Each structure stands twice: as C-alpha cells, then as structure tokens.
Amino acid sequence: MGLVSDSGRTGLFGPLFSRSAVGVSDTDWLQAMLDTEAALARAAERAGLAAPGSGAAVTAVASAERFDIDELGRAAVLAGNPVPPLVRALSEVLPAGQREAVHLGATSQDIIDTAVMLLARRAIGVIESDLAAAAGHAARLARENTATVLAGRTLLQQAVPVTFGLVAAGWLTSIDESRLDLRQARSRLAIQFGGAAGTLAALGNDGLAVAALLADELGLAEPVLPWHTDRLRVVQLAAALAGVCAALSKVARDVTLLAQTEVAEVSEGAGDPRQGGSSAMPHKRNPVVAILVLGCTRRVPGLLATLTAAAEQEHQRAAGAWHAEWETLSELLRLTGSAASWSATLLAGLRVDADRMRANLDASGGMPMAEHVTAELAPALGRLAAHDLVAAAAARAAQARTTLAAELLGDAEAAAALQAAGITEPQLGAAVDPAAYLGASAAFTQRALAAHDELGNEEGDDPGGR
C-alpha cells in the first residue's frame, strides 16, 4: 500500500489530510440534508399527512447535483443557516400538489442535526473499516514478534527489556478499544425531530408517529425526546472520534521515535523510492506516513474542546453554540478518517529490524537488567541494600563505558555480595540476559490477540452500519 491516495481528494493539502473516503464536503452536507427532507416527506405520506406519491416525488428530486451550493450559501446568511433557502429551492422543483410534503412539521435544526447523524454514520463506517485494517496489521506484527526483544523505554531512557510483540499488542488493544467506543457512539446516533421548540405542535397528535416513521426511514434511533439543546450525543460522538485519534497518535509517535537515525529499530515501507525524501537533503528517509497521522491527530483536541464548550446551549435553541458545531464536527470526522486511513498504510508497511533492536539493547552494557540483578541479590542483602549496590555499579559502568556485569565482578564489595548470594559468574551472565527477563510479555501479547480475535468474531453482530 503506497502513499498515493485512492480517495479522490484533490487540492494542495487534500491528499494529505483528507485521505479517506469520509465524506464531509459541502456536497455531502447538502445531500445529507436532502436525504433528511426526502425521508421526512416519505414519513409524512406514510402517516397520511401528505398526498400519495409525495414521498417518492421529493425523493426523486432530492439530489445535491440539482442545486446551486454557492447560491444556497449566499442565501443562508439571511436566516443563519442553509435550510430555509434549501426548503424553498426543493419546493420549487416539485409540482404544486406535492410541495406540502416538504419540511412538514420540522425546523431548520431538525434537518441539520439529522444530517449530521447521517454524515457521522457514513463516516464511522469508513473509519471503522480502516481501523479494522490497521488493527489487523498490528495483530500480525504482534504475532510475528512475540520473541523479538528490544529495550523498553521510560521517560525516553532505556528501562527494562520488552518485546516488540508486546509493543504491537499495545497498539492493537488501543485501536480495538477505540473501535468499540466508536461503535457505541454510532449506536447513539438518532434523528432530530422536534419542530419549532421541541414539541412538534405543528403536527398535532401525529407528531410522535411521524418521528417514529422518520427514524425508520433513515435507519437511525428515535430518541426519547428531541435534543435541540441537549448536546451530549454530539459530545459523545466527538469524544469517541478523539479517542480513535489518541490511539492512532500513540502508534505514530512510537514509530517516529523508533525510526530515528540513532535508533533505527523500525522503518516505513517505501512503495515509492521518493517516499520520505527531503527537498534539501538527498539522504533523508523521513517517516512521513507517521508524520501525517500526527499532523491529523494534533488538531483533534482543540476540535473536541470546541464541541464540548458548544454543548452549553440556551433554552430551546442555542444562539451561536449550535452553529459552532457544524464545521468543527466536519473537520473532526475528516481528520479522524484521514488518520485512520494513513495508520492502516503505516502498519501495513512497517519494517521491524530485530537485529538492531537487540544491538541497541546490548549496547547499554546490561543496564536494563539492573532490576533483575537487584532482585537476585535482594534475598541475601535486603532489597534496599541490593538496590544501592547495583546502582553504584551501574554508575561506574556508565562512567567507564563498561558493562554492569564487569563492574559487579570487578568491585570487591559487589563481588562479595554476589558470593554471599550464591551467584556465580555464569549465573550473573544469565541474570543480565534480556531474553530471560520478559515477565508476562508473551502472555500479555496472547491476551491482546485473543481479544482482537473475539472482536473480529463479533463484527457481524453490530447493526449500526445501516
């Protein structure tokens, strides 16, 4: 899988940050609003409130290509949103007898909020597909590298050894858990239909029936109440998308760190010899796919903050906060989709250098095994005394650029402690072998893989992809 986008996005930055098939363009927005109006017309006809054939007639003309988006946008400034001019334009292309089915009982927010739900559902389907692909590649990396040892790093310094299988399993678990959160958010997507102030008074006793039929037409949930100024549904959606980006940014950040020249433990697969190049430095092979993931995800916290702030809305209709959601949520869907698409590419082509991982670990002179040696000495010396003795040996080894084992064997006090503990030189050699101190790494990796396989078996049980 190469860097060239297959999503059809164009422009200077589109192929970079709008890579996936997530649709949140003006045309996508307009079509979602038209889909809502058409579904409402069909629901009204089913409820006996519109002339026979009205629903089909509205549906037949509810195509974004029939309308001038720029003109709708210019007219939107008169009402503060594009629905009033859209309703007028949609009505004008219908026969007089079928116009009454358009926008029946609805308010502008009903159409825009329901359109958002449709856009989100379609986007989540695309994002989930890319996340499933990314998770599949992470699972493969975990399986293939269960015994691949590398230095664990805490506070950016070598700590104790881990396996790359465990690292990949961590990526896998985070991605899979973000997929579950996204599924939950999708299950909460619901129509908005409350009329002028959330009472559906314009429809009299038929309001609840039309609402139920509208939900059925669109395949969305019917909420308990209209949610005009209850924006928890939007915040939950935004939080799930932000969680996806948090999971993907962790993967991308790890890759950029492990791909540094001095580390060089992983590298991105180059489908094009120009991939990762620099305009000034011919030798560069930058981890550009990981960088593009991060370019998307870094913008997400601010978008989530905006949507959270916009959740405080006045009375029965917000004055500005609702309006602040439209482009913000579009951007969030677009960037999450792009990050998921790039992450699938990143993990599909990631190259693991097991020899380099072991070399970097060995170059530390056994320091990452200090905890293990301390544990071996503790029964004889006590935990704190063993810690201090090993810490002193590690400090000498770092200063002299020798190994931990050499300093323990070469220092009289340390050698006596080893002897008192019954630790021979071969046993010390075994104690500083990274492969002998991996704890539950393999078991954790297998647990992650089992959970992933279980999630895959549940794929067909989720009805939210309608």
Which one of 46, 317, 356, 396 is the catalytic residue?
A: 317
Measured CA to CA, the distance from residue 312 to residue 416 in angstroms comes to 69
- Say what the alpha-carbon torsion angle 416, 419, 423, 426 is, to the nearest 10 degrees: 90
Residues 373, 417 contacting (CB under 8 angstroms): no
Residues 368, 160 contacting (CB under 8 angstroms): yes
Specify whether 231 is catalytic: no
Q: For residue 64, what is the DSSP state?
A: G
Specify whether 278 is catalytic: yes
Distances (CA, A) of 172 to 1, 251, 258, 429: 19, 9, 17, 34
Measured CA to CA, the distance from residue 369 to residue 434 in angstroms comes to 7
Residues 103, 111 contacting (CB under 8 angstroms): yes
- Other C-beta atoms within 10 Å of 50: how many? 25
Alpha helices in 259-382 (DSSP H): 288-297, 300-309, 321-349, 354-362, 370-381
Measured CA to CA, the distance from residue 363 to residue 161 in angstroms comes to 13
> SS in 3 state form for 375-440?
HHHHHHHCHHHHHHHHHHHHHHHHHHCCCHHHHHHHCHHHHHHHHHHCCCHHHHHHHCCHHHCCCC
Which one of 63, 74, 88, 278 is the catalytic residue?
A: 278
Q: Which residues are catalytic?
A: 278, 317
